[in-house]
Structure 1
Amino acid sequence: MKAVGIVVEYNPFHNGHHFQVTKARQITNADVVIAVMSASFLQRGEPAIVSKWFRTQMALACGVDIVIELPYIYSTQKAETFANGAISLLAEMGVNFINFGSESGNIQDFEHLLTFMRQNKVAFDRHVKENMKLGYSYPRATSTAFTQLNPDCDTLSLTEPNNILGFHYMKAIQDQGYSIQATTTLRRQAHYHDQQISEGSIASATSIRQAIQNGELSEIKHVMPTESYQLLKSYKQTYSLLHTWQDYYDLLQYKVLSTPVTHLRMIYECEEGLEYRVKNVSKRATSFSDWMQQLKTKRYTWTRLQRLATHILTNTTKLEMKEALSQQTPEYIRLLGMNTLGQAYLNQSKKNRSVPLITKPAKAKGITAFLEERATNIYLSPLSSEVRRKEMSEQFSRHPIIAH
């Protein structure tokens, strides 16, 4: 059996995701689609709108055969680290292909980009450092460096989020020596940053999340598969919320105000005196959005600061993350869900895996599991005390979802 891997957040699962799952299987002629999915906190430094279990159900209901967890140590990172972690897990799962969405839809464009960047690495790194000295944020410094190297724009742009991730997926495959074939699916209709829900069947995840935050669930029904939409509604009915940063702001504010700057300085991604700025802003801000607006500078992007907020909230230190990322291979693979086809694939491929595939976190050992458990418990904190206690206890005993 051949497998294609996709890297996902499904925050939440919408029609664009369903299109990619379908195309990934068609393009590669794979028997099985394996999704490595971010758990509780995401790459842009946000809590997932619904739990990983509900998002796993969404995926399995809409064409994915196996869902595995992308742990906190990878899911809350810049593109390169995020991609390295995701690809290493998919490689351990034995995928023959990966597929990612892009504005280009042409894998040769990414191959040319990878060659171009390798040939110009020294000059690129020099431009990035020079731009950082000018006070640019890292994403702006890198995109500007790319333009400086390639003023005629005859190579795929490294300014689009999906192009950046696609580039890093392919770079990770090459750097780590995996024999995985990369493929890409052309993104349809909606642009990544679109703020408004489209009238068509495809909308950006950004616009969908915006509608959810505004309490406009009926506005997104036509851009989500029925099963996914019903699960989203069910989560809200069951837990009385859909997770947003505002649900965590009181806890974040308490954490910042009660923590000495000497310890804030030890938090992962807290650099260049940010601990003082974080402390001062927390005394004045009235909401998470207000906190972010006051904290943001030209040098630090909204995403970068949200990731810092996540690490403050979860008390993740630089030393802990350094230890976790120093592992040469993933410490384990956590299975979140599968269907009968996925189960058959796992049985067939089990002899080829060098990393343990676990079905319960109690079997997971090491720093990765420790940080994941802590992040999960923090993620559950906005729930009512009784529900929170039940969910926390079940984290250690919950088996993967099996869809029939």
Structure 2
Amino acid sequence: MKAVGLIVEYNPFHNGHLYHLNASREAADAEVVICVMSGYFLQRGEPALLPRRERTKMALRSGADLVVELPYIFSSQHADWFARGAVSVLEQLGTDTICFGSEQGDIKPFLKLLEFLQTRREEYSSYIKSFSKQGFSYPKAASMAFQQLAPDRELPDLTKPNNILGFHYIQAIHDLQSSIQPETVRRMQAGYHDETLSSSAISSATSIRRRLIEEKQPVHTVQEAVPEASFQVMESFINDGSFFYDWEKYYPYLQAKALTLSPSLLSELYEAEEGIHHRFQSFIKTENSFHAFMSALKTKRYTWTRLQRFAVQVLTGTFKKEAGAALASNGADHIRILGMNPQGQAYLNRVKKQCALPLFSKLPKHKTLQQQLDEKAAMAYYLPLPPASRKKRWRQEYEQPPIILKERT
């Protein structure tokens, strides 16, 4: 059974994701689509709009065959660790191809780019250090360094967010000496950061979240931008008395964490670099909302994304020492199964004997360090809920089995 792997967040699953899933299956000529999905906190340092169980339902009902979780220590990371964690999971699951969406839309320039940067790695790193010392953020410094090397115009544009992630997937495949073949499909229409809903059927996840969170519009106002399965999951979620998660709901908890830790202890949290914790602790005393806090905190050096990632580490209480130990394996140390259909179940039964990592359907009693961090992330994610609901969700972390669809969609 040939399998294609997708590295996803589905925040939420929209029409562009449906196109990517179907196009990837076709491009890889795959019988099985495996999704490695971030759990509660995402790559740009944001809480997921909906819990992972709801997003798993969206994926399975829209055509995915198997959904597994990307451990927390990789899900809220800069692109290289994010990619390395996800690729390591797909490698262990015997995936034949990884297919990602990109602005480039052609895999050959990415492979050419890998060779180009491999031969000029020292020069590239030197330029990054030079631009970083001038006060530019790492992403900006890396982009400027790339342009400084005067690359061939046929190479992918590394100022584009999906091209950047795609290149890191290819880099991770190379570094892990994986046999997985990379493939890409062109990202359709809406840009990654577009904040307004498109008049076409494909809108960005950012614009959908903005409509639901900032504009406080009802779910039916985004119905045309998402598959029917996603709309039904979101509508049911809200009708059951739940709410969509965003940073504003966590701000009181973030304040409490940040202001009750000493500066020295705050500096020991993961991502606390270059004195960022001093600025963080100073501004969080005076600002009344997360957005106001971030607007005051952001500088040319400290990007919004970097600051959000540090905020996640503060909220979850993740320290450098434990993060370093969790990353020492250079990839995932377990695979947690979130959901599957009959095709996915058959595939999993076929490959699990060759999988070197333990497979789990729920958190075990004796946890690895990565699983301990997963648990802390889950505990933090549900903090905004009322006590009874919070207790229920926490209990489900240990008791709920994976979602199993009886039929393939």
1:273-352 paired onto structure 2 within 5 Å: 273-352=275-354
TM-score normalised per structure 2: 0.97
Residue-by-residue CA offset, 1:32-78 (whole Å, 9 max, x unaligned): 00000000000000000000000000000000000000011000000
Other-structure match for 1:203: 203
CA contact (8 A) 2:279 2:297 kept: yes
CA contact (8 A) 1:68 1:335 kept: yes
Other-structure match for 1:100: 100
What is the CA distance between 1:151 and its match in structure 2? 6.0
What is the CA distance between 1:328 and its match in structure 2? 4.2
Other-structure match for 1:83: 83
**Partner amino acid, structure 2, of 1:371:** L
Other-structure match for 1:215: 216
**Partner amino acid, structure 2, of 1:179:** S
Other-structure match for 2:110: 110
Other-structure match for 2:173: 173
C-alpha separation in 2, matches of 1:19 and 1:185: 10
Q: Would you say 1:32 and 2:32 are equivalent positions? A: yes
Give 2:242's match in structure 1, choosing from 230, 240, 243.
240
What is the CA distance between 1:199 and its match in structure 2? 1.1
1:114-153 paired onto structure 2 within 5 Å: 114-150=114-150, 153=153
CA contact (8 A) 2:298 2:304 kept: yes
Other-structure match for 1:2: 2
Residue-by-residue CA offset, 1:188-234 (whole Å, 9 max, x unaligned): 11111111101111011111111111222333110100110111122
Q: How many residues align?
A: 404
User: Over aligned residue pairs, what C-alpha RMSD do you find?
Assistant: 1.1
Residue-by-residue CA offset, 1:307-359 (whole Å, 9 max, x unaligned): 00000000101101000000145221000000001011011112211111111
Q: Would you say 1:159 and 2:164 are equivalent positions? A: no
C-alpha separation in 1, matches of 2:402 and 2:261: 37
CA contact (8 A) 1:43 1:75 kept: yes
C-alpha separation in 1, matches of 2:209 and 2:257: 26
User: Deviation above 6 Å: which 4+ runs of structure 1?
Assistant: none
C-alpha separation in 1, matches of 2:156 and 2:361: 40
C-alpha separation in 2, matches of 1:137 and 1:279: 20
Other-structure match for 1:57: 57
C-alpha separation in 2, matches of 1:66 and 1:133: 44
What is the CA distance between 1:239 and its match in structure 2? 4.1
C-alpha separation in 2, matches of 1:150 and 1:253: 45
C-alpha separation in 2, matches of 1:7 and 1:124: 27
C-alpha separation in 1, matches of 2:353 and 2:242: 43
**SS, match of residue 37 in structure 1:** strand
Query: Per the alignment, do residues 208 and 364 of structure 1 end up closer, same or farther by CA in structure 2, a change over 3 Å counting?
Result: farther
Query: Per the alignment, do residues 23 and 376 of structure 1 end up closer, same or farther by CA in structure 2, a change over 3 Å counting?
Result: same
What is the CA distance between 1:237 and its match in structure 2? 2.5
C-alpha separation in 1, matches of 2:241 and 2:122: 51
What is the CA distance between 1:254 and its match in structure 2? 1.1
**SS, match of residue 82 in structure 1:** helix
C-alpha separation in 2, matches of 1:103 and 1:239: 38
Q: Would you say 1:268 and 2:270 are equivalent positions? A: yes
**SS, match of residue 143 in structure 1:** helix
CA contact (8 A) 2:104 2:157 kept: no
Report percent identity of matched pairs: 46
Extract unaligned runs of 5+ from structure 2. Answer: none
TM-score normalised per structure 1: 0.98
C-alpha separation in 1, matches of 2:347 and 2:151: 47
CA contact (8 A) 2:109 2:154 kept: no
